Amino acid sequence: MAEIINLRTARKRKARDQASAKADQNRVTFGRTKTEKALTKAKSDQAARLLDGHKLDEAE
């Protein structure tokens, strides 16, 4: 025989789990210090400069 569940409780549990997952994602995305953000930006800028430096001109 199947277990009887309360749908209202199941919906609330599902909503709490989704909110918790979103909070975890926001902690990863926005929970960085100013120094970490600056370091990431500097690394991406440097990578972009290196990539642009290796591009060939259209005339060649």
What does the pLDDT read at residue 59? 67
Q: What Å distances lie between residue 8 and 24, 43, 46, CA to CA?
A: 24, 48, 52
pLDDT tens digit sequence for 27-59: 988 888 899 989 999 999 999 999 998 888 876
| Per-residue confidence (pLDDT) for residue 38, from 0 to 100 | 95
Residue 41: closest CA among 33, 53, 26: 33
Tell me the mean pLDDT in the region 11-31.
Answer: 94
- Residue 51's pLDDT is 92
Alpha carbon distance 26, 16 (integer Å): 15
